Amino acid sequence: MAFLVHNLPPYSVHVRKEFLYDHKKGHGETTPGTWISVKSVQHKALYFETLLYDYGALFDKLPISAFVWKTDYDPDKLLPLDTLQIWDCFDYNLTVIEKPLLNRCEFFGKDRQMHKGQYCFTIDNCHSESSTLNTNYSQDDPEHKSFNCIALDNGQFALQPNNRIIWKDQSLISDNVIAPDFEVCSQNYMVENSDKWSVGHTTEWAYKSKCEENNDESHA
């Protein structure tokens, strides 16, 4: 778990140059680079830091909409930032993982269209500092979301939560998938909140509750 900034797998990207000039010029142009890190600022979109080959520069704090993975994209089919990433960051603490088995997928966008792509990695938030006030939902089960990074077929990248994605696999997943009709989990599951089981009365290494001890005695 990192605070504020986490390194990234070295994905080759192209930066849309208008994002390098505060949208004042460079429209329709790109420059190549590699992702270096990602930054999570609560209540903001994820920010990416990129090494720009042509300039020998590190450019920080660009949203996911600033990037494409190919240069022959159709500018008329580019999706806006709030479709590519639908939730802001939940916390300053973040982690980056590559989930196993995940490959091709498609996500249901805010434009009510399905967008196909290739899974890259996942970014997730949590509130790891118990000494500071948690003011968001990074650890609230019904509200928590993760950010699955997807290289879209249109050339862009997206950051989507699990419940917006349908996964594809020629071996594991049926070609006639059932449309999920699940409900959001409203529970915060815990196992140490029951008053029916306690071992606080004993210091034995092979501890048992009083009920378990009484049950052993009844079978003696």
Stated pTM of the model: 0.88
Model pLDDT, residue 118 = 98
Do 105 and 59 form a contact (C-beta atoms < 8 A)?
Answer: no
Instruction: Specify the length of the chain in residues.
Output: 220
Model pLDDT, residue 119 = 98
pLDDT in tens, the chain (220 residues): 899 999 999 999 999 999 999 999 999 999 999 999 999 999 999 999 999 999 999 999 999 999 999 999 999 999 999 999 999 999 999 999 999 999 999 999 999 999 999 999 999 999 888 778 888 777 777 788 899 999 999 999 999 999 999 999 989 999 889 989 999 888 888 888 777 778 878 888 888 888 888 887 777 6
Model pLDDT, residue 220 = 63
Model pLDDT, residue 189 = 84
E strands in the chain = 2-3, 5-7, 12-16, 30-39, 47-52, 57-62, 67-68, 93-97, 104-108, 114-125, 147-152, 157-160, 165-167
The C-alpha atoms of residue 17 and residue 31 are separated, in whole angstroms, by: 7
Model pLDDT, residue 190 = 83
Q: What are the φ/ψ torsions at residue 52 (nearest 5 degrees)?
A: -95, 115
- Nearest partner of 152 among 106, 108, 96, 111, judged by Cα: 106
Do 94 and 38 form a contact (C-beta atoms < 8 A)?
Answer: yes
Model pLDDT, residue 24 = 98
Do 35 and 13 form a contact (C-beta atoms < 8 A)?
Answer: yes
The C-alpha atoms of residue 214 and residue 107 are separated, in whole angstroms, by: 55
Q: What is the 3-class SS of 10-29, one letter each residue? A: CCEEEEEHHHHHCCCCCCCC
Please give the C-alpha separations between residue 90 and each of 23, 126, 135, in angstroms, as whole numbers.
Answer: 27, 8, 9
